[in-house]
């Protein structure tokens, strides 16, 4: 069996790795213990909540707030900027890095995924997977119930409508919504090559 450090490096590098490795599953349990503590703190005990998140996250700004409950896989692969706010039930599967900029507001029941599984059933059943990072720029508003899939980059000053599934990159200054998310209106440029008429 490959050692933990090698499997961890493979995971972060986007290579196919054994997600059932005992080192990974053991770390997942450790993180879930800390997340359980976070989610069961009194809602008014904000300092204790932030202390746990500062310990878990890869990096964070001075000012941030995450409503309980919150869930993640490893935590250390999540980086949030200044003035970050997340409403109830944020889930981040951070097998790859998730980088979130400053002044990002996230509605309730948002999910951000980096883990990928094979389409072939036999391969999928073996426990192998890979991960693709997610990047979210500055001053982004993500509506409630949004899902962001692996490998997506979201630009600055983007608004994502409630219930959307974001399956491809979103450039700066876009308003997108739907499943899959597409431009709603925009004076802001093109969305993956699609030019959208200005709406006054």
Which residue numbers are catalytic?
Answer: 117
**Residue 17 to residue 38: CA distance in whole angstroms:** 29
């Amino acid at each position: 069996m490959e050692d933990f450090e090698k499997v961890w490096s493979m995971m972060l590098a986007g290579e196919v790795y054994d997600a059932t490795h005992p080192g990974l599953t053991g770390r997942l349990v450790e993180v879930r213990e800390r997340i359980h503590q976070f989610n069961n703190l009194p809602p008014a005990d904000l300092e204790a909540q932030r202390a746990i998140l500062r310990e878990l996250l890869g990096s964070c700004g001075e000012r941030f707030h995450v409503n309980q409950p919150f869930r993640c896989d490893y935590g250390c692969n999540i980086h949030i900027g200044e003035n970050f706010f997340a409403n109830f039930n944020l889930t981040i599967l951070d097998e790859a890095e998730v980088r979130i900029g400053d002044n990002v507001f996230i509605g309730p029941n948002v999910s951000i995924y980096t883990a990928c599984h094979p389409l072939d059933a036999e391969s999928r059943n073996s426990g192998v997977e890979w991960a693709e990072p997610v990047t979210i720029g500055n001053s982004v508003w993500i509506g409630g119930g949004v899902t962001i899939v692996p490998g997506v980059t979201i630009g600055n000053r983007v608004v994502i409508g409630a219930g959307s599934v974001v399956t491809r990159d979103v450039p700066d200054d876009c308003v997108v919504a739907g499943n899959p998310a597409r431009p709603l209106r925009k004076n802001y440029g093109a969305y993956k090559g699609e030019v959208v008429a200005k709406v006054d």
